[in-house]
Each structure stands twice: as C-alpha cells, then as structure tokens.
Amino acid sequence: MKAIIIGSGIAGIATAIRLSHQGFAVHVYESANGPGGKINEFVQDGFRFDAGPSLLTLPSLIDELFTLCGKRPEDYFRYVRLSKINKYFFEDGTTLEASADVNAFAEEVNKVTGEPLVHVLNYLKKSESLYRLTAPVFLKQSLHLASSYLNWPAWKAFLQLYKLDASTSLHTRNEHSFQSEKVVQLFDRYATYNGSDPFLAPATLKVIPHLEFNTGAYFPVGGMYQVIHSLCKLATEMGVTFHFNTPVEKILIHNKSAAGVLVNKKEDTADVVVSNADVKNTYKKLLPDEKQPGKILSQVPSTSALVFYWGINKTFPNLELHNIFFSADYKREFDYLTNKRQVCNDPTIYVNISSKVQAADAPAGCENWFTMINAPYDSGQDWKKIVSESRSAIIEKLSRMLNSTIRPHIVSESILTPQDIENRTASYLGALYGSSSNNRFAAFLRHKNFSSGIRNLYFCGGSVHPGGGIPLCLLSASIVSDLVRKRKV
C-alpha cells in the first residue's frame, strides 16, 4: 500500500510517520526546498532565529511518535521545561512575571495587581477541567463520524456542554472572572494563540492557559526547528521518502476516489492521499474540478503576523525568553485587526529572545529578537506602508517601555509579512491558523479530516480539525492515521 502526503508541515511529517508505521510506503511532496512549513529557522549575521512558532507545549505528543516506532525520544529530541513562561509589560510601567508554578504565579498576580489568589487558581483549575472534558471528544478524534459520539466520554461531554461556555465571549468571561483589567487583558491574549479576537471568540478558549500553566511550557534544545529535524530523521529511518522543490499540481480522482497526484506533469498513483496543504488552496488549486465545500471555505481567515527579526548588539537583563508588551487599549487593537483589517499604532508586541536560554543563538554581548505583532490576513493592504509605520511604532514603544533607545542597537534585520507567509507556506491569504474562531460554532465549521465525496482523501494540519498550533496539528495527524487504519470513510 502506498500513501502520498502533500506538504511537509509538522502534521504532514507526523502523518507520514504514523502511516509508515502502519506499513504504507510513504512519499511526501513539498514545494519548498526543505521541511517544516511554518516551523523554520534561519541564520543571519551570526544570529539564529526561529522563523515561526516559538513556544512548545504538550511535547509528549512528539515523544509519542518516537515511542510508537520503538525509539527512545531522548535519542532524537530533547527539551527543557521553563521556570518562567512570560514577562508582561503594561503601559503604566507595571511588569508581571508569569512563573510556571501556578501558586507562585497567582501570588505574583496578587502582589502586582491586587487580584485575589483564588480567582487565578480557580480560573486555571476550570481551564484544566475544560481541557479534560473536551480533549477526548473534540480534539483527539473526528467530529464528523457518528461513531465518535457512541461512547461514554462523548456523552459525558454533551451532558456538560454548558461548561464549554460557547455562548459568552472570552473577554466577557474574563471580565466576570477577574477584578483587575490587567489580568483580564493577560488572559484575553490567549485568543490570539489561534488567531482569534477575544472580544468575539467563545469563552471555550479559556482552555488554552491550561497547556502553559498546568502541563508546562518548554524550549527545545537547539531551537524550535529541532522538532522538525528530529521528526524528519525518524521519518527517514521509517522509510518515508521526501521530495522537496516538488509541488503537486493536482490530486488525481478516479471513480470518486483519490488515486494519486500529478507531479511534474506525471502521474504518481497511490492508495491514500493526505493533504497537509491549506485546505482552501487544496480545493482551489489541487481539486478545481471537484465540488467545493462553500460554507467551509467561506469562513473568515484567522489573523496573521508581522515579524521583525532583529539582531541586537546589546543585552537586556530585564527581558526574558518570552516577553509581552501590551497595548493601552486592547479593544481598539482588535477593532483594527478584525473590522478594519489594519494594524493600529499601538499594537501589543511579542518579543522572543531564544539567546536567553541558548547563548549560541547570538554573538557574545548580543541578543536575537523575534519581534512580532498581530496583523490581519492579506486583503490588499499597503504592506509597505504598514511595515514602515509599524516598525517606527514598535521601536518607539519598546524604547519607552524599556527606558532604552532601541534603534541604534539593531544591527541585523529581516522582515516577515502576511504576504511572505502566504508565498512561503501557501497559507491562504497569509492566515496563520486557517479560519478564525470568532464565533461559537467555529470548532464545528473547520473542515473534517476526510472527504465525504472522495474516498481515500484525507486532510491534516492547522487549517482543518482540530485547529492550528503544534499540538493540534499533531493531533490531526493522529486522527488521520486512525481513520486510514479503520478505513471507515
């Protein structure tokens, strides 16, 4: 049996590993010159940068792939648990360090903002409870098969649907949960982890903090790209064949069944085809003659990002690995992103400095700053103007909040826009997470992991169920491999 995977993002690689373990001869076709999709790295002027995701949670999902294949994860991939998750900076000069220890975090929040400890602890406890309720049903299996609901965990979840809090926005729930506006803003930010607006997205997203505080935040030794490097090594050992610089031109359909792909104007047949490409591009470019799932494909895309990779010839002892500089008006920032599809002049800024834990990522006495702000998906904006104005606003804001002039210390720079993201990763309109979660039914409106009309065609990755981000992409791979094994669709 032969399987073809289109795209070598983390979900595509994980699917390849799982199908190879099932006995398939697996071929992965990738249009780029290397694997990883949005997870990538580059070195410039002596500075190493993680080009995409910079936070690792649920590394057990990665370990699982090695143990599945009878390997020891530590022989391929190592990571360290962080003692500090984030450092938050507010416009009034307040700073707050988020310890990985839940009790220490609650005490710090109380000390800095006056928020009662019990509010924080109860919130994180409910976050954990919600994850344990929803993960088995809504994250670890297909939502689109009747058999998924014929079990006790599913019935238990449905009997407690009210706990999903889907009819309330995340921001409204946070306002009811906390007294301090700063704490509300801190927990509102978790909506951005899947490219959504906390003022519109359902309070179900309060599940996300659980992954950082209760299960832990991690840093891979060698950087985030080591995740891809180690999984590709495992995949190769399992017999997976990678074809880089080889874009798929079309998915072949015969008698309403996926029969392979067209590559370099030649047909490569297979028993199973899995698309790890963005689902909208899969239909528009690879399945142009097939019925298009209009309702699914018309969903509003998630937000994107504007990133400045800066080599800084100075060290900042008051910064950590992960740093957040909040805007003064979060509501206004998201009004610009969601409604105006623009970037406001006071964006929230995320600064990741991997050299804080891995000194070799920057020359001595220097730091590598991954400086990111949320940006709308590409809908024809003047990105040259946005980049120029945002760069000035970011430098001014960081200089003011750090009480140190930043501009003279930028000795190396590279820039990533939503247009670049689309061009480099084929993400539709540069959206980072497929469709947004800005409505209560968003989870059910993501494309399923299989095709209803085309047999032996499957989908994995951040644009389909269960969603974007490394853990969910890995879970999508698990769902697909299980579907293929059972061949129920």
Q: Please write the tens of the pLDDT for every residue from 18-51.
A: 999 999 999 999 999 999 999 999 999 999 999 9
| pLDDT of res. 161 | 63
Domain boundaries 2-39+224-298+437-486, corresponding CATH code = 3.50.50.60
Mean pLDDT, range 61-87, rounded to an integer: 97
Q: Which residue has the higher pLDDT, 293 or 122?
A: 122
Q: Does residue 488 carry a pLDDT above 60?
A: no
- Band of the pLDDT at 442, cuts 50, 70, 90? low
Could you tell me which residues come within 8 angstroms of residue 4 by beta carbon, excluding any fewer than 6 positions away? 26, 27, 28, 29, 260, 261, 268, 270, 272, 273, 274
- Band of the pLDDT at 206, cuts 50, 70, 90? very high
Q: Does residue 2 carry a pLDDT above 70?
A: yes
| pLDDT of res. 487 | 76
Q: Does residue 208 carry a pLDDT above 90?
A: yes
- Helices of type H across 33-101: 60-68
**Region label for 109, one of left (φ > 0), alpha (ψ between -120 and 50) or beta (otherwise):** alpha
- Band of the pLDDT at 133, cuts 50, 70, 90? confident
Does residue 38 contact residue 427 with C-beta atoms inside 8 Å?
A: yes
Q: Is 19 exposed, middle or buried (0-12, 13-18, 19+ CB in 10 A)?
A: buried
Could you tell me which residues come within 8 angstroms of residue 477 by beta carbon, excluding any fewer than 6 positions away? 11, 12, 14, 15, 17, 18, 460
| pLDDT of res. 154 | 64
Mean pLDDT, range 294-302, rounded to an integer: 86
Mean pLDDT, range 371-397, rounded to an integer: 98
Q: What's the mean per-residue pLDDT of the chain?
A: 94
Residue owning tokens 């998750």: 85
CA dihedral 244, 250, 254, 259 (to 10 degrees): 10
Its pTM stands at: 0.94
The strand pairing partners of 80, in sequence order, are: 219
For the beta carbon of residue 75, count every other beta carbon within 10 angstroms. Answer: 11
Taking the C-alpha atoms of residue 371 and residue 307, their distance in angstroms, rounded to an integer, is: 6
As a whole-number percent, the residues of the chain with pLDDT over 70 amount to 94
Q: Tell me: the pLDDT tens digits for 210-268? A: 999 999 999 999 999 999 999 999 999 999 999 999 999 999 999 999 999 999 999 99
Taking the C-alpha atoms of residue 456 and residue 271, their distance in angstroms, rounded to an integer, is: 7
Range list for CATH 3.50.50.60 in the chain:
2-39+224-298+437-486
Q: Does residue 355 carry a pLDDT above 50?
A: yes
| pLDDT of res. 311 | 98
| pLDDT of res. 378 | 97
Mean pLDDT, range 346-372, rounded to an integer: 98
Q: Tell me: the pLDDT tens digits for 147-189? A: 655 666 666 666 666 667 888 999 999 999 999 999 999 999 9
The phi, psi pair for 285, rounded to 5°, reads -105, -35
| pLDDT of res. 230 | 98
- Band of the pLDDT at 139, cuts 50, 70, 90? confident
